[in-house]
Structure 1
Amino acid sequence: MTPTDEYSKEKQQMSGFRYQLNLFYLALSFFSRIPVPATVQYSAPLLNKSARYFSLVGITLAVILALSYWLLSPFLPTTVVIVCLLSISLLLTGAFHEDGLADTVDGIGGGLTVEKRLEIMKDSRIGVYGAITIIIALLMKYSSLLVIADSSQLIASLLLGYALSRAIAASLMFDMAYVSASSGSKSKPLTEQQSGAELTLLLAVGALPLFLFPVTTIVSVLISMWLFRSAFKHWLTKRIGGYTGDCLGAAQQISELLIYLLIIASSNTNNAGVLS
């Protein structure tokens, strides 16, 4: 039975709503440590189709962090609360995306050939490039969220950062080639290209939290995310000829940080305009 036949048979066995819910649970289990019902049906074709819900997984994680912030902020200083949120986030995801960022930097930064870069990226050990990158990324995320919390935009920023960054990362599967041949790759079951409808749903859900922000922020985020995706796609294609699961994790982490920085920059611009 081909993957397509297997997928069609599994889809026929589930009702419309149950099928979509099953896809969401698969996406949630793949990208987080959050428990899902034991009755969830799994197969590589179904997991591939679950990519449409990656941004919704981001919203789910952001809601948990927002609730954590609401519970902790009355009792702890903001600096401590932000550290708690970062820790909770790492626990919820198992540092899945951070690991991808480290492996991407190690591989592309340390390999002189495509083959060597892919080989390094498959290595479970973290190198100097990866370690330094993770430290810088966490420090930037901490400082950015601390500034955002002072402007009372933290919850909206978490929703946008977690949702849209996952949408940008997963959208790379739409028009890029998968290049890793490792059976243990993070994205091996997700290598089939998305349909236009799946990509539209992915991006629409990811961009939904933008409506919580002023127009200037919306415009700057949309333009910057398009530029980042184009530049990152070009860079990956030039360096390794496509994407790997680690590259998707790197795209998620970098775009999330960019979103926070853009929110801060837009907020400062708006405040300067009001003062003038």
Structure 2
Amino acid sequence: MDRQTGGEADWPGREALHDLAACLRFYSRLPVPQLPGEPDPHRAPDFTRLPRMLPLAGVILSAPAALVLAAGWLAGLGPFLSATLAAAAMAVTTGGLHEDGLADLADGLGAGGDRARMLTIMRDSRIGSYGALALFLALALRIGALATLLDRTGLPAATGLVLAASLSRVAALAPMVLLPPARSDGLSAAAGRPGRASLVMAGLVGLALALAALALGLEPGGVAAMIVLGGLAAYGVTALARRRLGGQTGDVIGACQQAAEIAALLGLVAALAP
């Protein structure tokens, strides 16, 4: 006899698919409909189990940008224009969620002062000079890395883009795992900490995607560099947040993702140096 949940029969992979849909709604502007048997799709994400689907969510979120990158290259637009269009496609898909976190963290830490002042500045919706500089540099580094990858590898650069997007979203869990919330009333405090089973699943799926990237033409040394440098970048942002803020916020997590993604792309570029 089938178990019933919310009037719908249970089926294998049901919860995992619901978690994937929740990831896509939270991390993107994609119009994800409510799935059969799914609770309220507008509920706050449960990060005790949601992270297990982050690697797959990263693949889906980066797919439009990867397709634009490949299409631009095949159309003869050249590395720079193709990479710029891919970055624009990614921004449209994600709504600049993590970029917003990077800018807010840069403004807060750049302004300095005590912990309370920095957290107050980070909550301000306006972007200051430090945030604007951080956004410009992040965009320039991402476009430059993708353009260089296109120049050196051609179409496999699209695989590198997808892998960096996926791995960086897993790496961005570091603050949630290693730090307490910096505020008692923020989203990160309400979301909870990722459970052990969820983290193990995220790691295994990320590893599977890395192996798939090897099969699609990326060099083993490049993939290894992406994993190592992406992880180190995320840990560096986490350590900075611990020292300056005493904990993590959604902005810290967003900045971790951006740092990890850029570091992963730069690692791949360095490993493929002529």
TM range (shorter): 0.7 to 0.9
Give the CA deviation at 1:17: 1.8
2:176 matches 1:173: yes
Distance 1:230 1:132, change over 3 A: closer
Q: How does 1:55-134 map to 2 (within 5 A)?
A: 55-78=55-78, 79-134=80-135
Q: How many residues align?
A: 257
Secondary structure of the residue aligned to 2:173 is helix
Give the CA deviation at 1:234: 1.9
Tell me which amino acid in the other structure corresponds to 2:175.
L
Equivalent of 2:29 in 29, 33, 57: 33
Q: Distance in 1 between matches of 2:243 and 2:9?
A: 43
| Bigger mean CA deviation after superposition, 61-70 or 246-255 | 61-70
Structure 2 unaligned regions, length at least 5: none
Q: Distance in 2 between matches of 1:14 and 1:104?
A: 42
**CA displacement 1:251-275 (0-9 Å, x = unmatched):** 011111111111111001xx4xxxx
Equivalent of 1:18 in 14, 21, 24: 14
Tell me which amino acid in the other structure corresponds to 2:258.
Q
**CA displacement 1:56-91 (0-9 Å, x = unmatched):** 211112222222233343335122222211111101
**Alignment TM-score, normalising by the size of structure 1:** 0.84
Structure 1 unaligned regions, length at least 5: 1-8, 272-276
Give the CA deviation at 1:155: 1.4
Q: Distance in 1 between matches of 2:10 and 2:113?
A: 48
- In structure 2, the partner of 1:5 is none
Q: Distance in 1 between matches of 2:51 and 2:116?
A: 27
Distance 1:68 1:242, change over 3 A: same
Q: Distance in 1 between matches of 2:130 and 2:69?
A: 32
Equivalent of 2:263 in 258, 266, 273: 258
Contact 1:54 1:170 in 2 (8 A): no
Contact 1:176 1:242 in 2 (8 A): yes
Q: How does 1:140-151 map to 2 (within 5 A)?
A: 140-151=141-152
Give the CA deviation at 1:202: 1.7
Q: Distance in 1 between matches of 2:134 and 2:81?
A: 23
Q: Distance in 1 between matches of 2:92 and 2:265?
A: 21
Secondary structure of the residue aligned to 2:75 is coil
Contact 2:171 2:260 in 1 (8 A): yes
Contact 1:159 1:209 in 2 (8 A): no
Q: Distance in 1 between matches of 2:99 and 2:9?
A: 36
- In structure 2, the partner of 1:217 is 222
Q: Distance in 1 between matches of 2:190 and 2:268?
A: 34
